[in-house]
Amino acid sequence: MEKTIAGKTISVNEEGYLTDFKQWDKEVAETLATEAHINLSPVTGK
């Protein structure tokens, strides 16, 4: 299956999970997190 996220077409499985990790980038991560109601926060190193 395919899904368009952040203007890019990505490959996903039936549950909507990314299947080709070469397609992973910051915009895809942020969009998928928002769709899953996950709040991403920056890593502070503390």
Q: What is the DSSP letter of 18?
A: B
Calculate the alpha carbon distances from 4 to 29, 38, 42 in Å: 13, 19, 25
Tens of pLDDT, residue by residue over 1-46, are: 999 988 999 999 998 889 999 999 999 989 988 988 999 888 776 6
Tell whether 42 is covered by a domain: no
Question: What is the spatial distance between Cα 10 and Cα 2, in angstroms, rounded to a whole number?
Answer: 6
Q: Let me know if residue 41 belongs to a domain.
A: no
Nearest CA to 25 out of 6, 45, 3, 2 is that of 6
CA distance 35 to 6: 12
19 is in which domain, residue-wise? Answer: 2-35
**How many structural domains are present in the chain?**
1
Query: Is residue 46, in this structure, part of any structural domain at all?
Result: no
Q: Which two tokens stand for residue 7?
A: 């203007």
Instruction: Give the per-residue pLDDT at 24.
Output: 93
At residue 46, the pLDDT reads 63
> Could you tell me if residue 12 is inside a domain?
yes
User: Would 44 be classed as within a structural domain?
Assistant: no
Return the pLDDT at 16. Answer: 84
pTM given for the model:
0.69
